[in-house]
């Protein structure tokens, strides 16, 4: 038995293979269930007790040797294969297709840029908010009907936790930790429980602006609005303010711009009026200042909020709101030039 083992050890030591198939047949010959080494293992039962130790050791030596040998031959083959398959570094590059920025991002960036030139800095807050920051701190009374103006998504089992329905919550987030002067611009996603159609979605995007300091007046608001409208829609754009109501501003207004599709002559988009509404605004309600730790006797402020989808529609006439969230690359490609 010992001689047989030794003979196999010699054989294994001398093994060579020139192809993967050959290597596999060697593995089968020595290491498989029906291979030579397993045959010897079976014979081991018949070895007399006093020789078992020596024969056992030799047998193990053979087995390890055979495994090592086959493995090292296999590695050598794989290394050869890797060299053969190495990429051709002299080939010219693939044409790399550039992506395009999302239209809502293009417009959002433009709005931010315009407001930053006026000294506003970026601020943000969470989309999953509490009732306080979205409603109470913005002067919506507990049973105020204005809370129904917005269809809110509540987090089940936590009625106090909601998805923010407007970016006005960021006003409160900033004011509670900052004393004036405050001049912020806050873009972000908001959620409302609406059935999805071509003109409504359960999430959309807004930009909020807030300016609080000593002696901030409605005149400042009006100038900022005019400057924004003309930079966004062209120097001939006109604005008009209509009285409105929001719990967090007093007085409140809605701003229309002269329809930039027909230039104010009247078309389907502006329903023949020559004007389109683009944002809500007003002087920050003294209650809002006080609720957020700012002295309303010393400071005044203005705020405004607009929907990014609406501004984008005006600029690019996207007829179906759902296009913004479907990410059809053919739609996104249309904005290549605007990038």
Q: Which residues are at the interface with ligand DAH (CB under 6 A)?
A: 166, 168, 208, 246, 249, 280-282, 303-305
Nearer to ligand DAH, 204 or 324 (CB): 204
Residue 238 in contact with residue 258, Cβ under 8 Å?
yes
Residue 81 in contact with residue 28, Cβ under 8 Å?
no
Residue 187 in contact with residue 111, Cβ under 8 Å?
yes
Closest distance to ligand DAH from the beta carbon of 123 (Å) = 13
3-class DSSP assignment, residue 182: strand
Residue 210 in contact with residue 240, Cβ under 8 Å?
no
Nearer to ligand DAH, 100 or 139 (CB): 139
Question: 262: which residues sit within 8 A by CB, 6+ positions away?
Answer: 269, 270, 274
Closest distance to ligand DAH from the beta carbon of 224 (Å) = 12
Nearer to ligand DAH, 100 or 167 (CB): 167
Give the Cα separation of 337 and 24 in Å (integer).
59
DSSP output for 184-238: EEEEEEEE------SS--SEEEEEEEEEEETT--HHHHHHHHHHHHHHHH-TT--
Question: 275: which residues sit within 8 A by CB, 6+ positions away?
Answer: 240, 256, 257, 258, 259, 264
Closest distance to ligand DAH from the beta carbon of 208 (Å) = 5
Residue 173 in contact with residue 152, Cβ under 8 Å?
no
Nearer to ligand DAH, 70 or 216 (CB): 216
Closest distance to ligand DAH from the beta carbon of 281 (Å) = 5
DSSP output for 240-259: EEEEEEETTEEEEEEEEEE-
Closest distance to ligand DAH from the beta carbon of 332 (Å) = 27
Closest distance to ligand DAH from the beta carbon of 280 (Å) = 3
Nearer to ligand DAH, 69 or 166 (CB): 166
Nearer to ligand DAH, 166 or 173 (CB): 166
């Amino acid at each position: 038995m010992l001689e047989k083992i030794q003979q196999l050890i010699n054989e294994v030591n001398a093994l060579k293979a020139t192809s993967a198939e050959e290597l596999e047949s060697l593995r089968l010959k020595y290491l498989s269930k029906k291979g030579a080494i397993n045959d010897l293992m079976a014979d081991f039962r018949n070895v007399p007790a006093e020789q078992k130790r020596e024969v056992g050791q030799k047998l193990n030596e053979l087995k390890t040797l055979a495994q090592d040998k086959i493995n090292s031959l296999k590695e050598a083959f794989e290394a050869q294969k890797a060299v053969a398959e190495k990429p051709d570094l002299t080939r010219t590059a693939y044409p790399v297709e550039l992506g395009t920025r999302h239209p809502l991002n293009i417009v959002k960036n433009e709005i931010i840029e315009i407001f930053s030139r006026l000294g506003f800095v970026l601020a943000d807050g969470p989309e999953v908010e509490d009732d306080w920051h979205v409603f109470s701190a913005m002067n919506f009374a507990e049973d105020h009907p204005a809370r129904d103006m917005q269809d809110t998504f509540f987090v089940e089992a936590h009625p106090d936790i909601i998805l923010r329905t407007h970016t006005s919550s960021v006003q409160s987030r900033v004011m509670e930790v900052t004393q004036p002067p405050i001049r912020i611009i806050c873009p972000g996603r908001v959620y409302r429980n609406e059935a999805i159609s071509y003109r409504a979605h359960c999430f959309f995007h807004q930009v909020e602006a807030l300016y609080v300091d000593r002696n901030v007046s409605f005149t400042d608001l009006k100038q900022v609005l005019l400057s924004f409208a003309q930079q966004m829609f062209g120097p001939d754009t006109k604005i008009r303010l209509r009285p409105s109501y929001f719990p967090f501003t007093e007085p409140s207004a809605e701003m229309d711009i002269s329809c930039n599709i027909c230039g104010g002559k009247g078309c389907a988009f502006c329903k023949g009026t020559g004007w389109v509404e683009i944002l809500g605004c007003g002087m920050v309600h003294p209650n809002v200042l006080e609720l957020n730790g700012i002295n309303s006797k010393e400071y005044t402020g203005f705020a405004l909020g607009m929907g990014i989808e609406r501004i984008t529609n005006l600029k690019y006439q996207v007829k179906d709101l759902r296009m913004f969230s479907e990410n059809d690359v053919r739609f996104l490609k249309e904005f290549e030039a605007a990038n």
